[in-house]
Structures are given as C-alpha cells and as structure tokens.
C-alpha cells in the first residue's frame, strides 16, 4: 500500500494472480492450445469496423484473458477512459485535458473543457482547412507571381511530421497526383536541401507545422525555407503571405515569425503532438487527399473511439491489445514489440507508432512521481514485412528473444495498380500468412528429420515456434481504415499507460537534450567555453571543431 492509500500495481491481488497463472502455464505451447481447441482460430477473433483482428496465436487461454481483464478492472482503465472522453485533465503533469477524440467528434457533439464546448471550434478549423484545401487543389489559390501551387512542403518534426508523412504515404493512391508533397523534419540542412532542390519557389507552399512554434528544428528550417523562397522570388517580403501557412496553438509566435495569423490553422493544448495528425496538423494530408477523404478518415477514427468507449471488456479491441502487450511485457519480460505491415503504403506506419507508443509510455515514475517497480512501454520497431523477412526475421524465428508482433495486411491491392501488379498481391499475402504460421507453430526436429535433413543440421533447421502474433486484416487500405488502425493503437497505448499508472500524455524526457543542445551550440560555432561539459563531451567537441576546420 502506498502512502496515499493506493496499492502499487505489483502489490495488487490481480497482479499476483497473473504471476501465479504465468507459473502454472509454464512453457505454454501454441500447438497444444490449438490442438485442445479446434475452434480457436475463429473464436479468438474480434471484428471492429473494417478490421478483422485475430489474436488466436497468443500464449493465452480464456483464463489468462479473464485475469488480464481483472487487472484492467482493478486499475480502473475504463474509469480513466471515461474521464478522458469527458475532457478531464488526465494529463496531470501538464494539467491538460486529453481530447484527441474530440477532433473526430460529430458536429453536434458536446465535449467540454473548462465548461466550454470545444466541438464547434474543431469543426470551424476543419471547415477552414477544407476551404483552403479546395483552393489549392483547384488552382484558385495562386502564389506571389500568379502561378498555381504545385508543391506542398510540410515543415515540422515529431508529431508535426510523422503523422501527416505517414498518412500521406498510406493514402498515396487517394492523393492528387498532379501535386508534389514533401515532408521536412531534420535540422540537418540536407533534408531541406533535398526537398527543395528541384522545386520552383513560385509554385511552392510551405506549411509550418508546430504545436508550440518554438521547436528549434522547425523554426530553423522554416527560416531557411523563407530565405529560399525570397531569394527565388526577388526578395519581396509580401510573397510570404501567399507561400507560408502555419499550423499551431501559438498565434503570437506565428505572427512573430512573420506569418499572417489569417493563414494560421489552429489547434489546442488538449491535443498532444503525437495525437495530432487528425487536427490542423493534417492540412498537408487534406490537401493531398481532399476534404471528403479526410472526413472519411475521421469517421474511421470515430468508429474505433466509439468501440473503445462502449464495447464490453471481453470484446474491446484496444483493451485486448493493450492487455496482451502487458502480458508479454510484464510476465514474459519481453522487451520489444514489432509492428509489421504487409503494405508498401504503410512503410512509415511503425515509425509513426514509435512516437505514439514510446513517447507516451516511455516513463519510469507513476502519476504521482514515484518510481515504478514494473516494466512500462516496450521498444516498438518494424518495417514492411516482406523486406523484414530478408533482414531481421531470422532473429524473431530463431533468436533467443521473445518478440510479440502485429501483422497488418489487406485483402485487396489499391485499384490503380493494374492487373499485373495487382496479381503480385497474392504472393505478398501468402508471405503474410506463412510468417505468422511459421512463427506460431515452427517446425519440430521430427518434422525436420522426416525431410531427410542430416542429423548434424537438425538443430539448425528446427524452428521453436511459439512466437506470439496478432493478425489485423482489412479489405483494403482506405482513409477510413487508416483512421481505424491509428485509433486502435492510440487507445491500446492508453490502456497500457492506465494499467501501468503512468502519465502517457507528457514527454518531459525529451526536454533535457533540447536544453543541452542549446547550451553546446556556441561551443561548436565560436569555441565558447561552455561550463558544465563533461570530459568526454568536451573532447568530442574539440575534435569536431578540428575536423570542421575551425
């Protein structure tokens, strides 16, 4: 029992019951679980909207799932969920509400923060974005010289980059192919250089995306982008108004940067950066796919929000996925979680989830600031599956680590592929199904021997199997399905943070590096004697200056 009367997670009877259950299960075998229950492949399945979620290949029994749900009940996951949806300030360290769900609420919904309904504001911004998007897409909005905009460059980092960049890639087949979209995030000047080198400033729109508008990488890149534009257009400052818009919560800083606040698309402090691409931060995406498709995506988000809010624990997909992650993370000592999409269009999906999950749940103190005595968020990693098969899958199959994985695939390729390329889709998906089967059931020494493999190679060719996976299958990757997938993961991350009793909505851990970078910069540029540099960093800075020719 803690001083405030709350029981620590690992002191709870529900936790102890899971520890005991884990011991009793011992070396649970997927082969045995399937042999004991021939219906498992269809009963351990949830359908949510367009998503078919198969969790049969997990090292769990009905009892495991019941015990995990008991833990969720004891930690009041649904209570915190309801508080989030009500707009309570559950981000306690920043004293903020957590209301990304309001970004996709219907026009007539009422969601209050400090007594004010935020939904009309959300729709006013969506309408303004839609109007602007239409003007860009139709050519009605022209640049300073009267040319139409052909290139859209989003400048932002973290949540102000990963979401729109990921979703643009995911929904490429729905994008206006006569427009070019680029996403610049890295403060390495090479990023901006490569993005701009073949673009005509007269046809280029910059979208400066920054919740705070103080992020040094973004402000630096935005400043360089402005110089590039002005150099290219003869230096007339009034060009900025036609070529720069801002997405931010900070009107003052936007104005100070020189962007007319009439060209600013607002969002609010109750939207976390990593939960923001369905807000104004998605403007580049909306220009790419059009307002109607963007709204279809929001509908997809909302569908899963409603599911999470109302489905009973037994059938609640985010709850289930969150608890399965906790099962491996806390009771099998799994350190990481792989997300493996079998879709080229989802090539940036896992990178997006890395911020969503690791910035949210990479915490080691509880909501009251006490060190946690249990593992929190896993390392999230992965790339599109078929490429991974020829790179790191070896370790998943035959290495010494337990790596639970999500496999995400689609029944239909995008329509524009054409017959020959579309025919490749079955091969892609054959790999998808083959991998989860091989991971789950492996190949026994007997099976290897039966193939005539010489005895000295049997151990090498044996697959232990028993690697747990979730399979998420949908008909096709539409805007709505993308929204459903993202909301599924958002709420999964929420569930885990709630059980671990951590604040999933702050990110103080990234601050120290930012402060130190600012302090170190004069040492690099001017050779300034920066107090507080440790011996290693001081020597490295000296070597850097030498190599840099300073």
Which residue numbers are catalytic? 359, 390, 514
Binding part of the chain for ligand F6P, among 24-32, 78-86, 205-213, 432-440 by CB under 6 A, reads 205-213
Which three-class secondary structure string do you get for 60-90? CCHHHHHHHHHHHHHCCHHHHHHHHHHCCCC
Q: How far is the CB of 46 from ligand F6P (least distance, A)?
A: 30
Q: How far is the CB of 277 from ligand F6P (least distance, A)?
A: 10
Q: How far is the CB of 281 from ligand F6P (least distance, A)?
A: 8
Query: Site for ligand F6P (CB under 6 A): which residue of 87, 159, 201, 404?
Result: 159
Q: How far is the CB of 211 from ligand F6P (least distance, A)?
A: 4
Instruction: Kindly tell me which of 64 and 154 has the beta carbon lying closer to ligand F6P.
Output: 154
Q: How far apart are CA 535 and CA 484, in angstroms?
A: 50
**Using CA atoms in the order 387, 391, 396, 400, what is the torsion angle rounded to 10 degrees?**
-170
DSSP character string of 204-262:
EEEEEE-SSS--HHHHHHHHHHHHHHHHHTTT-GGGHHHHEEEEES-HHHHHHHT--GG
Contact between 330 and ligand F6P per CB under 6 A = no
Nearest-CB residue to ligand F6P?
273
Q: How far apart are CA 284 and CA 98, in angstroms?
A: 24
Instruction: Kindly tell me which of 94 and 260 has the beta carbon lying closer to ligand F6P.
Output: 94
> What's phi and psi for 338, nearest 5 deg?
-100, 140
Residue 338, both tokens: 């792989």
Query: Site for ligand F6P (CB under 6 A): which residue of 212, 223, 347, 537?
Result: 212
Strand-pair partners of 318: none
Strand-pair partners of 340: 407
> What's phi and psi for 414, nearest 5 deg?
-70, 150
Contact between 218 and ligand F6P per CB under 6 A = yes
Binding mask 119-158 for ligand F6P (x = CB under 6 A): --------------------------------------xx
Instruction: Kindly tell me which of 26 and 513 has the beta carbon lying closer to ligand F6P.
Output: 513
Q: How far apart are CA 532 and CA 545, in angstroms?
A: 18
Q: How far apart are CA 209 and CA 386, in angstroms?
A: 33
Contact between 479 and ligand F6P per CB under 6 A = no
Instruction: Kindly tell me which of 212 and 263 has the beta carbon lying closer to ligand F6P.
Output: 212
Contact between 293 and ligand F6P per CB under 6 A = no
Q: How far is the CB of 453 from ligand F6P (least distance, A)?
A: 51
Q: Count H helices, E strands: the chain? A: 24, 13
Q: Total binding residues for ligand F6P by CB under 6 A?
A: 14
The CB density around residue 39, as the number of other CB atoms within 10 Å, is: 9
Contact between 510 and ligand F6P per CB under 6 A = yes
**Using CA atoms in the order 68, 71, 72, 77, what is the torsion angle rounded to 10 degrees?**
-160
342-381 residues in contact with ligand F6P (CB under 6 A) are 359
What does the DSSP 8-state code read for residue 183? Answer: E
Residue 107, both tokens: 């026009």
Contact between 211 and ligand F6P per CB under 6 A = yes
Contact between 160 and ligand F6P per CB under 6 A = yes
Binding part of the chain for ligand F6P, among 210-218, 343-351, 407-415, 457-465 by CB under 6 A, reads 210-218
Query: Site for ligand F6P (CB under 6 A): which residue of 40, 58, 100, 274?
Result: 274
Q: How far is the CB of 212 from ligand F6P (least distance, A)?
A: 3
Contact between 436 and ligand F6P per CB under 6 A = no
CA atoms within 13 A on the CB side of 366: 18
Residue 304, both tokens: 């899963």
Instruction: Kindly tell me which of 97 and 157 has the beta carbon lying closer to ligand F6P.
Output: 157
The footprint of ligand F6P (CB under 6 A) covers 157-160, 210-212, 215, 218, 273-274, 359, 507, 510
């Amino acid at each position: 029992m803690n001083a405030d009367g709350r029981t620590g997670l690992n002191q709870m009877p529900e936790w102890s019951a899971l520890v005991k259950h884990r011991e009793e299960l011992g070396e649970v075998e997927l082969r045995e679980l399937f042999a004991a229950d021939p219906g498992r492949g269809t009963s351990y399945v949830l359908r949510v909207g367009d998503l078919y979620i198969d969790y049969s290949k997990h090292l769990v029994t009905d009892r495991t799932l019941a015990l995990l749900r008991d833990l969720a009940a004891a930690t009041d996951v649904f209570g915190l969920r309801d508080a989030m949806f009500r707009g309570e300030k559950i981000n306690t360290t920043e004293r903020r509400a957590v209301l990304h769900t309001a970004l996709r609420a219907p026009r007539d919904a009422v969601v209050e923060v400090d007594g004010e309904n935020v939904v009309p504001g959300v729709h006013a911004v969506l309408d303004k974005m839609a109007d602007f998007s239409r003007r860009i897409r139709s050519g009605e909005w022209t640049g300073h010289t009267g040319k139409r905009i052909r290139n859209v460059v989003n400048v932002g980092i973290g949540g102000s980059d990963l979401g729109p960049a990921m979703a643009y890639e995911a929904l490429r087949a729905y994008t206006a192919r006569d427009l070019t979209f680029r996403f610049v995030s890295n403060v390495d000047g090479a990023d901006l250089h490569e993005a701009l080198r073949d673009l005509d400033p007269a046809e280029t729109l910059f979208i400066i995306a920054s919740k705070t508008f103080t992020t040094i990488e973004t402000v630096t890149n935005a400043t360089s982008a402005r110089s590039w534009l002005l150099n290219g257009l003869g230096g007339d400052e009034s060009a900025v108004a036609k070529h720069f818009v801002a997405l931010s919560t900070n009107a003052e800083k936007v104005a100070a940067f020189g962007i007319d606040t009439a060209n600013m698309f607002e969002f609010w402090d109750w939207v976390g950066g990593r939960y923001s691409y369905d807000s104004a931060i998605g403007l580049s995406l909306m220009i790419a796919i059009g307002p109607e498709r963007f709204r279809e995506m929001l509908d997809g988000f909302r569908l899963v929000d409603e599911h999470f809010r109302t489905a009973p624990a037994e059938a609640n997909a985010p709850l289930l996925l969150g608890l399965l992650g906790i099962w491996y993370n806390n009771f099998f000592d799994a350190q990481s979680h792989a997300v493996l999409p079998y879709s080229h269009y989802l090539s940036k999906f896992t990178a997006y989830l890395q911020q969503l999950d690791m910035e949210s749940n990479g915490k080691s103190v509880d909501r009251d600031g006490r060190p946690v005595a249990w593992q929190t968020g896993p390392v999230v990693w992965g790339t599109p599956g078929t490429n991974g098969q020829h790179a790191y899958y070896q370790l998943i199959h035959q290495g010494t680590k337990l790596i639970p994985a999500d496999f995400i695939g689609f029944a239909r390729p995008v329509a524009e592929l054409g017959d020959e390329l579309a025919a490749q889709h079955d091969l892609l998906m054959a790999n998808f199904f083959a991998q989860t089967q091989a991971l789950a059931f492996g190949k026994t020494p007997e099976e290897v021997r039966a193939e005539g493999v010489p005895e000295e190679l049997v151990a090498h060719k044996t697959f232990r199997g028993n690697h747990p996976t979730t399979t998420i299958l949908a008909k096709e990757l539409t805007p709505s399905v993308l929204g459903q997938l993202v909301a599924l993961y958002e709420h999964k991350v929420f569930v885990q943070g709630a059980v671990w009793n951590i604040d999933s909505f702050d990110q103080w851990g990234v601050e120290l590096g930012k402060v130190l970078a600012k302090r170190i910069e004069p040492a690099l540029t001017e050779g300034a004697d920066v107090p507080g540099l440790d011996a290693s960093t001081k020597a490295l800075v000296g070597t850097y200056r030498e190599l840099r020719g300073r």
